[in-house]
Amino acid sequence: MLHVLRRLVTFLLRMWSFFIAIIRINVRAIQSYESVTYRSVLASPWLETRLKSVPRKTLVLDLDETLIHSHHDGFNFARQMAKPSYPPDFILKVVELERRVGEIERRPTRFFVHKRPHVDYFLDVVSQWYDLAVFTASVEVYGAAVADKLDSNRNVLNRRFYRQHCTTSLLTGFAKDLTKVSSDLSSVVLIDNSPGAYRDYPNNAIPIESWISDPYDTCLLNMLPVLDALRFCYDVRSLLGRNLHQHNLWPKPK
């Protein structure tokens, strides 16, 4: 009798897990089609004149844990392996060349990529305000494939920078060199979840919370009012430099 009861409890727990998984998938699907709008107030004639007098700015976007999260089925890439409980938005097959003594081996790896909530709407809106660029510390073969999928024939993510454009440090790893994007840093804004990536340019950065799987995340939508306002200033550093207390530029000593 006890054995039958244990089997029944195990069966019910499995069924409960199955139903929870189905609910999560459906919530994700419904949310991906949820109508979202940013109510942009019409600018006064004075603001319209000011906008025409300042240069159009460049918005630099990080990929991993900022616009997307991914996990993989291989071991060649040093990537975080946290896995959301719902299916990926797309799957990429990336081939890495592994150099060994006397030979070069091709190792295919599948990446399961999840898009941050509202990323498509976010790109549609900010591409009207800014020239966009992608800057990732990942290798080019991976970063280019992700950027292609996110761009989805919009032709707004044509400027791309990868690991080879970063500087390196034993303390904080890869840091992004924004002078590769533009020599005029007064018109460059970076959104990145990693403070170490922009340690040399904190006055150009807007920190964003790392994203892995939360289907209710609204961080990208929350960025829109700030990015809307930054278009009107002559030097973005004059405003972003006031928020240095939000950055954790150096790791805390252990």
For residues 9 and 60, membership in a common domain is answered with: no
One-letter amino acid identity for 139?
V
pLDDT band at 100 (very low <50, low <70, confident <90, very high): very low
Residue-wise pLDDT tens digits, 65-75: 999 999 887 65
What pLDDT sits at residue 138? 94
For residues 17 and 62, membership in a common domain is answered with: no
Residue 102 covered by a domain? no
| Annotation marks residue 217 as catalytic | no
Residue 41 covered by a domain? no
Residue 94 covered by a domain? no
Copy the structure tokens of residue 130.
Answer: 């800014």
Q: What proportion of the chain, given as a percentage, has pLDDT over 90?
A: 56
Distance CA 229, CA 227 (A): 5
- Tally of structural domains, the chain: 2
For residues 240 and 122, membership in a common domain is answered with: yes
Distance CA 46, CA 69 (A): 41
pLDDT band at 47 (very low <50, low <70, confident <90, very high): confident
Give the CATH number, domain containing residue 62.
Answer: 3.40.50.1000
Q: Is the pLDDT of residue 31 over 60?
A: no
Q: Which domain holds residue 143?
A: 55-68+116-245
- Mean pLDDT of the 160-171 span: 89
Residue 240 covered by a domain? yes
For residues 130 and 237, membership in a common domain is answered with: yes
Distance CA 205, CA 193 (A): 10
Residue-wise pLDDT tens digits, 199-242: 999 999 999 999 998 999 999 999 999 999 999 999 999 999 88
Strands in 103-115's sheet, in edge-to-edge order, are 68-72, 103-115, 90-100
The CA–CA distances, whole Å, from 250 to 105, 137, 169, 244 equal: 37, 17, 11, 12
For residues 5 and 126, membership in a common domain is answered with: no
Return mean pLDDT, the chain.
83
243 or 93: which carries more pLDDT confidence? 93
| Annotation marks residue 200 as catalytic | no
For residues 143 and 198, membership in a common domain is answered with: yes
Structural contact between residues 133 and 123, judged by C-beta atoms closer than 8 angstroms: no
For residues 62 and 178, membership in a common domain is answered with: yes
251 or 243: which carries more pLDDT confidence? 243
Q: Is the pLDDT of residue 40 over 70?
A: no
What pLDDT sits at residue 72? 83
Residue 77 covered by a domain? no
Q: Is the pLDDT of residue 90 over 90?
A: yes
Copy the structure tokens of residue 181.
Answer: 């994007």
For residues 61 and 187, membership in a common domain is answered with: yes
Residue 47 covered by a domain? no
Q: Is the pLDDT of residue 57 over 90?
A: yes
Identify the top-confidence range among 18-22, 25-29, 30-34.
18-22
- Mean pLDDT of the 76-102 span: 68
For residues 182 and 60, membership in a common domain is answered with: yes
For residues 15 and 63, membership in a common domain is answered with: no
Residue 222 covered by a domain? yes
One-letter amino acid identity for 235?
D
Copy the structure tokens of residue 200.
Answer: 């040399």
31 or 207: which carries more pLDDT confidence? 207
For residues 21 and 62, membership in a common domain is answered with: no
Residue 108 covered by a domain? no
For residues 120 and 14, membership in a common domain is answered with: no
